[in-house]
Amino acid sequence: MNKEIKYSLDKSGGLEPKRSMEKSGISLESRQKIPLEMYEISGQDRITSHSLARYIKDKEQDEMIKGMIQDPLEVKISDAPANERSSLIAKGLASDNIDVRKECARMIKDAPVSERSSLIAKGLESGNVDVQNAYAEVIWDVPINERPSLRKMVSKIIAKGLASDDIKVQKACADMIWGAPKNEQSSLIAKGLASDNVEVQKACAEIIWDMPEREKRSLIKLFMKKGLNNILIESPLYKEKDISEERFSRQEFEKSGSETTLVGGSLKEKTIIRHIKPRAFLAWQELYENYQLWKSNGFDYVPIEPIQSYKLNKEGFVDVYSGVLDLNLNKWSINFGWFEEKLASDREKILKVLDSQGISHGHTHDANFVLRFFRDEDGRADLRRKPRIYLIDFDFAASPQGKT
């Protein structure tokens, strides 16, 4: 191999050895030598049939297509000599291809530590908010003493973006708030809440849980003052999922291999479909239908994941349409802690009932105890009233009656 070979970015943003390249394309002279009958479609006349003679090459489209299938830039930059990687990333930053610029951000870790800060600064100076977001994420790859100036840059980008009329820009900037200096995050979240877009508001809500306790409490009150209670306690099931009015999305359970389907349309965030083994469903059904059991144990509701309907599918699993609740007990305890003793008492009562019936749930950790808050006439959750608690996720469940 030639050790003197140099690397360069090709037009599509890929990295390739620098060498003399012949321009691709088929000349008229070349076409005349090609047997055109090889390209004619049988049964069609010369006017309507396709052939190489009527083939119009689109080099711009060729480059775009090649850009989609080229080898990952990460592999190519990491294969380049260490002393050339920074310059390659810098060249990538100058590309007109946004995806190339974003990919270069992920390559920062391959650049020498002493040069990462300046490369990130260049990325943050990009006029594209998606590129800026990508570079904000890699600030932690620079020495700790070089981070404050970069985080200040991020803060300015966020403040400007949150004031934009473009919802996409607002959302991207709200997602970046965590990268701003800690002492500026609270005010940026407040600015984000001025947006009427629910996705921007949700992005702001995601940030507050890592805030210092005093600021977190203040921000929770601000959310409640603005009537955004529901955002604070919504189920995480649909987060990061692109579920439109007509789309479905499947997500595998981590342990059992069973699945859940998130439902779009008017049932979005109201109904999910669980696909579980018949034995597990029978245990779930037994607990759900026996309202007398729960009433005799002090409950004025059935504290079991709601079953709306069910049907055995062709694969031998039961498709169970289930109601979506709010956030789980673990998240609530960490972030709020209100009604902690009473909710813990209700949880223990549920477990004792299962034990008395000889039913095994399989994984009764606090993430599988989920809350449902009472709503007012406008559907707004009342966070000042103790919520109901439910045991969910019965994919491991077994009962004496359900044994085969």
For every residue of 249-286, DSSP letters joined together read: EEEE-TTT--EEEEE-GGGTTTEEEEEE-HHHHHHHHH
Separation between Cα atoms, residue 289 and residue 159, nearest integer Å: 53
Of the candidates 353, 277, 370, the one whose C-alpha atom is nearest the C-alpha of residue 318 is 277
Which residues face 322 on adjacent strands? Answer: 272, 307
Q: Are 318 and 312 in contact (CB under 8 A)?
A: yes
3-state DSSP helix/strand/coil percent for the chain, to nearest 5? Answer: 50, 10, 40
The pTM score is 0.61
- pLDDT range class, residue 399, cuts 50, 70, 90: confident
pLDDT value for 247: 52
> Rounded to whole angstroms, what are the CA distances from 342 to 304, 337, 338, 349?
17, 11, 9, 11
User: Which helix (DSSP H) or strand (DSSP E) does residue 17 occupy?
Assistant: strand 15-17
Summarize the confidence of residues 114-128 as an average pLDDT.
88
User: pLDDT-derived band of residue 281, with 50, 70 and 90 as boundaries?
Assistant: confident
| Pairwise CA distance, residues 14 & 11, whole Å | 7
Within 8 A by CB and 6+ apart from 136, the residues are 124, 154, 157, 176, 179
Torsions phi, psi for 284 (to 5 deg) = -60, -50
- Angle 129-136/113-124 helices, nearest 10 degrees? 150
What mean pLDDT comes out for the span 323-344?
86
Between residues 19 and 312, the one the model is more confident about? 312
The residues facing 270 across adjacent strands are: none
Whether residue 173 has pLDDT greater than 90: yes
Q: Which residues of 114-127 are buried (b: 16+ CB within 10 A; e: fewer)?
A: ebbbebbebbbebe
Q: How confident is the model at residue 19 (pLDDT cuts 50, 70, 90)?
A: very low
Phi and psi of 401, rounded to 5°? -75, -25
CA dist 365 and 344 (Å) reads 12
Q: Which two tokens stand for residue 112?
A: 């020498």
Q: What are the Cα distances from residue 187, in Å, to 81, 194, 225, 231?
A: 44, 11, 16, 19
Residue 40: predicted pLDDT = 55
pLDDT reported for residue 326? 87
Give the integer Cα–Cα distance in Å for 86 and 107: 9
Q: Are 234 and 198 in contact (CB under 8 A)?
A: no
Mean pLDDT across the chain: 77
| Phi and psi, residue 281, nearest 5° | -65, -40
Q: Which among 213, 219, 218 is positioned nearest to 201, based on CA atoms? A: 219
Burial of 77 (C-beta count, 10 Å sphere; 0-12/13-18/19+): buried
Which tokens is 386 given?
């103790």
Lowest mean pLDDT among 16-20, 69-73, 149-153: 16-20
Residue 362 has pLDDT above 60, yes or no: yes
